[in-house]
Chains A and B, each alone.
Chain A
Amino acid sequence: MLGEKIKKNYKSIVEKFEKKESALISLLYEIQKENNYISDGDISELSSLIDMPYSRIKSVLTFYTMFNQKKTGKYHIQVCRNLSCSMSGARNIINFIKENLKINEHEVSDDGLFSYTTVECLGACGSSPVVMINDTYYENMDEKKLRELIDKLRKE
């Protein structure tokens, strides 16, 4: 179900663009911000709101990996698994997450706080390993820093 915010704001988002089609990715981000992920029901509602076929919206949703099609934790941890990050210890970071948060890829921790996936190159290879949590980059990560970060996030 679409939240109140997007139902209020969608028109102003669409107006920012020359053609309404260009607003689609932004609209999906808005829905995700409010609802944590984007459901089929959200797509149907959006389809009526902006008069765009369901099939068009769903094809875009499933093509781009930054859209969550199912629930993630409050803090969604994305660990880069590409070459530079792998060479500087991404595997250790992944193992750390698996052992300490007790989750596999795409799973949510029992307290609903954390989930993780591996992702491809985040474009910050010089400060690898790189981890992205929600919208923020954390560079030059190691197990110690990650432990501190997770503890900090837990307390928030």
Chain B
Amino acid sequence: MKIILEKELFDIKTYITNGGYNAIKKALTMTPQSVIDEVKKSNLRGRGGAGFPTGLKWSFIPKDKSQKYVVCNSDESEPGTFKDREIIHKNPHSIIEGMIIAGYAIGATKGYIYIRGEFVREARIIEKTIYEAKESGYLGKNILNSGFDFDITVVRGAGAYICGEETALLESIEGKQGKPRIKPPFPATKGLFSSPTVINNVETLAAVPYIMIMGGEKYSRIGKEKSSGTKLFSVSGPVNKPGVYEIELGLSFKDFLENYLMGMKDGVKLKAVIVGGSSVPVITADEAMKVNLDYESLSQAGTMLGSGGMIIIGDNQCMVEALYILARFYHHESCGQCTPCREGTGWIYKLLSEILSGKCKEKDIDLLYEIAENMMGRTICPLADALSMPVMSFVKKFRNEFDKHIEGSCEICQR
């Protein structure tokens, strides 16, 4: 079933014809606390990658009358992830409506949408969407005569994956380098401009209007118990039908691959799957065929649902080269603040380029694994872990390919 991407709702007219902006109307008749409770009942979990329960996050905001903010994280830079872009193209008003409802629920009068710099076209779509909403009275002062004010400002990023991390994003909006903050304090107490702030992913906010209309309880019965609702998966790699899919959580990967992605293309065999963006541990083809696409099943299989950015890897791709490409990414994107990540990403990247070109020995593969272990859990933000987990899982599960590179006998790379 599809919820957010059920129809293509490009402009406000089509959106309203299909029930748009009824959710905010409903929310405004409820108390802010009841709105939070409704979202809690839905068991909606953050769709950006961390999977934190959304209702719970909203409930951390203090109930006083101080200035508060809702921030929409539209930084979408996790390799393999391109689902938020789809929502911006096909159903942008759901994001805006979600933000307004969030603002009402936590008592915020201002919202920010932080959108990655490369999404120039998408930023224009968002600006147009905000304009339409404002013109129709859904944004601005005294929305629908409720006494509730809400306004949204778009802030563009400028090419930094790390700004997808909540506190780095706030730093960027505050006009600084995107360096994650030490937590605690958490954004719910001290966020944007030191005020209580809720930061949610595009997809999370887009789900909110639908939850309000159908009711949190009904939403919670879609999918699985601890993985309720639908999730957008953006799939790339040698499959017949890559693209964005909205599926009920709990669907088996086998079913997904065969009946949605229409199997592998051009005779390529499935070798490995990165299920939720490059930062999650990789799983082998065998493991993938046994999992369901939900938080628990994937966690039990030793990986994570993450962002839902699925990268399918076939037997025509060398795993060592794949890991090298990812290490190059994290090395490029590390903010450089803390020692283990700044130095560790560089070390791993350099070591991998030598392993790739056969300039290394067996013990260097063990060293590679150890460096990844030594980075993990010791940094301000999880970027170091985001490299450690691929490194450790690739080395553990595809050790033979690394060994081949030491010997200079990788058939795929021809070196």
> What CA separation (Å) do A124 and B81 show in the bound complex?
8
Residues facing B in A120-156 (CB within 8 A) are: 120-128, 132, 135-137
Whether A121 touches B329, Cβ cut-off 8 Å, given contacts A64-B117, A137-B121, is: yes
- B156, A63: Cβ atoms closer than 8 Å: no
> What CA separation (Å) do A84 and B322 show in the bound complex?
9
Whether A124 touches B159, Cβ cut-off 8 Å, given contacts A22-B174, A83-B311, A132-B118, is: no
| Most chain B CB atoms below 10 A, which of A17, A19, A60, A64 | A64
List of A residues within 8 angstroms of B116 by Cβ: 123
Residue total for B at the interface (Cβ-Cβ under 8 A) = 56
Contact residue among A17, A56, A136 (Cβ-Cβ distance under 8 Å from B121):
A136
A14 shortest CB reach to chain B, Å: 11
List of B residues within 8 angstroms of A127 by Cβ: 242
A52 shortest CB reach to chain B, Å: 8
> What CA separation (Å) do A128 and B236 show in the bound complex?
8
- A65, B325: Cβ atoms closer than 8 Å: no
Residues facing A in B155-184 (CB within 8 A) are: 155-161, 172-178
B49 at the interface (CB under 8 A from A): no
- A63, B160: Cβ atoms closer than 8 Å: yes
One digit per residue, 1 when the CB lies within 8 angstroms of any chain A CB and 0 when it does not, for chain B 133-157 equals: 0000000000000000000010111
List of A residues within 8 angstroms of B110 by Cβ: 18
Contact residue among B155, B317, B321 (Cβ-Cβ distance under 8 Å from A25):
B155
> What CA separation (Å) do A132 and B121 show in the bound complex?
12
B12 at the interface (CB under 8 A from A): no
- B79, A121: Cβ atoms closer than 8 Å: yes
- B155, A22: Cβ atoms closer than 8 Å: yes
- A123, B82: Cβ atoms closer than 8 Å: yes
- A87, B82: Cβ atoms closer than 8 Å: no
B46 shortest CB reach to chain A, Å: 18
- A21, B244: Cβ atoms closer than 8 Å: no
List of A residues within 8 angstroms of B175 by Cβ: 19-25, 52, 56, 60
> What CA separation (Å) do A67 and B363 show in the bound complex?
41
A-B contact count (CB 8 A): 141
One digit per residue, 1 when the CB lies within 8 angstroms of any chain A CB and 0 when it does not, for chain B 311-335 equals: 1011001000110011011001101
> What CA separation (Å) do A64 and B335 show in the bound complex?
10
List of A residues within 8 angstroms of B335 by Cβ: 63
Contact residue among A20, A23, A60, A126 (Cβ-Cβ distance under 8 Å from B243):
A126
Contact residue among A25, A63, A83, A137 (Cβ-Cβ distance under 8 Å from B80):
A83
A130 shortest CB reach to chain B, Å: 9
B195 shortest CB reach to chain A, Å: 11
List of B residues within 8 angstroms of A29 by Cβ: 117, 156, 158
List of A residues within 8 angstroms of B244 by Cβ: 126
| Most chain B CB atoms below 10 A, which of A23, A29, A124 | A124
The 19 listed contacts between A and B (C-beta, < 8 Å) are A19-B174, A21-B176, A22-B174, A25-B155, A25-B156, A25-B172, A29-B156, A64-B157, A65-B158, A65-B159, A83-B80, A84-B79, A84-B311, A120-B77, A120-B333, A125-B81, A125-B236, A126-B235, A126-B244
Given contacts A84-B79, A84-B237, A135-B120, 4 further A-B contacts (CB under 8 A): A64-B160, A65-B158, A83-B79, A137-B118
By a beta-carbon cutoff of 8 Å, the part of chain B in contact with chain A is 76-82, 84-85, 110, 116-121, 153, 155-161, 172-178, 193, 234-238, 242-244, 274, 278, 309, 311, 313-314, 317, 321-322, 325-326, 328-329, 332-333, 335
